[in-house]
Every structure is written in C-alpha cells, then in structure tokens.
Chain A
Amino acid sequence: EAGVAQSPRYKIIEKRQSVAFWCNPISGHATLYWYQQILGQGPKLLIQFQNNGVVDDSQLPKDRFSAERLKGVDSTLKIQPAKLEDSAVYLCASSQALNTEAFFGQGTRLTVV
C-alpha cells in the first residue's frame, strides 16, 4: 500500500512570497489533515478535511493560509504572503475515517528567509 505522498520535500522562499504544498493521501482515506511542525515542537493541526468538506480549521491563520481538497482526494496548502515564523515542516496525514489511525507523509520543510 502506497503511503501519503507530499511534494516538494524542501522549499526556500523569501518573506512575502507565496508557496504551495501538495498532498496525495492513501487511496480510500476520507479524512485528510495538514499539520505544522515547528522545530522542536509537536505537530499542530492547521486544517482537517472529511472528503472535500472542512471539519476543523480553527487554528489555520486564514489571512495568509488557505487549503482545498477538490474532489475529496488530493489537497493543496497555500501560504500567501509568507512570514519568517512560517518556517516549519508541513505534514500531511490521512486516515480511513474520523478517530482512526492517521498515517503521515514525510513532510515539506519550508524555510522563509
């Protein structure tokens, strides 16, 4: 079974630029999550989808972050404009349903300079 795929693996941008991350979940997984992991901290949930609907986006900085999951499969997370404090690893995860095991991708390491 293929795992959660994310791209790119690494990205370096200047502050105020925009960036987008892509995630392809495990086939058949209805729930998709985007987490932000700042160095030395645990992952923090940014947004959670159930199929193509948003279940929770309470911790998503909506003035600069946006995410979509068209057709309930792949998802993209966008930051515009980026700030220095957005430097982190962005992890995508998926699960078969709510409250079941979440499988994580390798993440995208973003550095904002």
Chain B
Amino acid sequence: QQQVKQSPQSLIVQKGGISIINCAYENTAFDYFPWYQQFPGKGPALLIAIRPDVSEKKEGRFTISFNKSAKQFSLHIMDSQPGDSATYFCAASMKQGAQKLVFGQGTRLTINP
C-alpha cells in the first residue's frame, strides 16, 4: 500500500525525442507527487511536483500527467537533451501523519547525442 512502482528501469532516447517515465501507486491517501532528478554522486533534486487537484503540470520541457482514477502519473521530457541523462525518481506522500516521501525504484535515462 505504501509502494510506488516505477517503469521502465532504464530508458534510452535520441536527442530531441520525448522521454516518458511512468509511476503507479495504490494508496489513495497520497496527495503530493514529486519527481526527483539525481546525477551520479549527487543527492536527488526536485524537478517538478503535482497535487491531485490538477491533471497536468508543465514547467519548461518537463510535464507531469496525473490520472487520479487509474492511480498513475508520468513524467514527460520534451526535446530531450544529453544533459538530461540522469536517474529519475517518482515519489508520493500523504497530507496526514508523518507525510514521508515514498520513492519509486528509479529510471536511468540516457539521451544519445
């Protein structure tokens, strides 16, 4: 119930293409869904986040699509660039209780030039 399942584990996209990473959750009490980007040797950094009152949020080349009924959300990276090569984690947390972040397993994204 506390899990967030992320796919794919790894993804290779050509420069200029669209990268899509998917996450699914079970716990309907989750109400905050961030995506984190992590480069080797660094800690995760918040990329973009969404709450379930909207179905889509866009910031530059990054878009979160949220499907509340399916309990799924996804990250789209438009015009993918080699500098986007990193590991991406989806996460979720609840408004109630400890409100701790539960992370997905991660997706290693490689953008080929």
Contact = CB atoms under 8 A, between A and B. Distances in A.
Interface of A: 4, 33, 40-45, 48, 55-56, 91, 93, 98-99, 101-107
A22 to B, nearest CB: 15
Given A93-B43, A104-B45, A106-B41, A43 B103 contact: yes
Identify the 4 closest CB pairs spanning chains A and B, nearest first. A104-B43, A42-B103, A56-B98, A99-B99
Interface in B91-113: 91, 93, 95, 97-106
16 contacts: A4-B43, A42-B6, A43-B89, A43-B101, A44-B103, A45-B101, A48-B98, A55-B98, A56-B97, A91-B43, A91-B44, A93-B43, A98-B98, A99-B32, A103-B45, A106-B41
B92 to A, nearest CB: 11
B50 to A, nearest CB: 13
Given A98-B98, A99-B93, 20 more contacts: A4-B43, A33-B101, A40-B105, A40-B106, A42-B6, A42-B89, A42-B91, A42-B103, A42-B104, A42-B105, A43-B103, A45-B102, A48-B98, A55-B98, A56-B98, A93-B43, A99-B95, A101-B46, A101-B49, A102-B46
B95 A41 contact: no
Contacts of B44: 43, 91, 104
Contacts of A101: 34, 46, 49
B100 A42 contact: no
Interface of B: 6, 32, 34, 36, 41-46, 49, 89, 91, 93, 95, 97-106
B105 A102 contact: no
Nearest to B46: A101
B43 A41 contact: no
B8 to A, nearest CB: 14
